Amino acid sequence: DAGVTQSPTHLIKTRGQQVTLRCSPKSGHDTVSWYQQALGQGPQFIFQYYEEEERQRGNFPDRFSGHQFPNYSSELNVNALLLGDSALYLCASSLVRENTDTQYFGPGTRLTVL
Amino acid sequence: GIQVEQSPPDLILQEGANSTLRCNFSDSVNNLQWFHQNPWGQLINLFYIPSGTKQNGRLSATTVATERYSLLYISSSQTTDSGVYFCAVLIKAAGNKLTFGGGTRVLVKP
């Protein structure tokens, strides 16, 4: 039973560049959520995708966008990178039919913006 | 929005000791999860526990939903228990997002 996978593991970019992060959900799951975790803090919700549409969005600017594909995998795109975007980006998957809404997290992508 | 507070922020334990971590939340919730984040950043599910008590090996958790708090117990701690423990809550009426506390950083010394 494959868990949540993310790529790449690490990424270094410079200010102003654009980045794409990828996530494959746990087998059988249909919902993908993205979180940003700054150093020393708890994860913060960015947005959630279900049926290829953004279902909910947290308090993040439009520079953060996403996409979900028919196979339920997802991408997170960040444009015009700022130094403050340096963080661990976590993807979580869940199954909307499951009443518990239990979310399972991937290993994360550590983004450094120079 | 909902507020989630964890205490203590830091905990240093001698191997073999027991400890209790606390999570307070400001509103009724539909989902509460406890996670252990290892040094590499992976969030590992420990418990899904919106109410009641559960046990898994040396770990157990209790959520008293009516009083809006949850406790995570670590017994006979081991060095591999080191890391950051997060609780996270979800309110379906506010959408299917988890709101995390600030975490408790645990260091177990041999």
Nearest CA in chain B to A39: B41
Q: How much is the pLDDT for A64? A: 98
Judge whether A60 is closer than 8 Å to chain B, CB to CB.
no
Instruction: Provide, as residue numbers in chain B, all residues whose Cβ is less than 8 Å from the Cβ of A42.
Output: 4, 86, 88, 100-103
Decide if A105 and B99 are in contact by the 8 Å CB cutoff: no
Decide if B43 and A90 are in contact by the 8 Å CB cutoff: yes
- The answer to whether residues B90 and B31 touch, using CB atoms and an 8 Å cutoff, is yes
Judge whether B91 is closer than 8 Å to chain A, CB to CB.
no
Decide if B86 and A43 are in contact by the 8 Å CB cutoff: yes
Judge whether A66 is closer than 8 Å to chain B, CB to CB.
no
pLDDT tens digit sequence for A10-33 = 999 999 999 999 999 999 899 999
Q: How much is the pLDDT for B39? A: 87
Order of strands, sheet of A19-24, starting from the edge strand that comes earlier in the sequence? A5-7, A19-24, A74-78, A64-68
Given A45, A104, A105, which is nearest B97 (Cβ)? Answer: A45
Instruction: Provide, as residue numbers in chain B, all residues whose Cβ is less than 8 Å from the Cβ of A55.
Output: 95-96
pLDDT of A112 > 90? The answer is yes
CA-to-CA distance for A10 and A37, rounded, in angstroms?
14
Picking from A30, A49, A93, A102 by the largest number of B CB atoms within 10 A of its own CB, the best residue to mutate is A102
Instruction: Provide, as residue numbers in chain A, all residues whose Cβ is less than 8 Å from the Cβ of B3.
Output: none
pLDDT of A99 > 90? The answer is no
Q: How much is the pLDDT for B92? A: 83
Give start and end residues of each alpha helix (H) in A2-110.
none
Give the DSSP letter of residue A39: T
Q: How much is the pLDDT for A100? A: 65
Q: How much is the pLDDT for B91? A: 87
Q: How much is the pLDDT for A98? A: 65
Picking from B47, B98, B99, B100 by the largest number of A CB atoms within 10 A of its own CB, the best residue to mutate is B98
Low-confidence residues in chain B, pLDDT < 70:
none
Helix, strand, coil % (nearest 5) of chain B? 10, 55, 35
Burial class (CB in 10 A: 0-12, 13-18, 19+), A87: buried
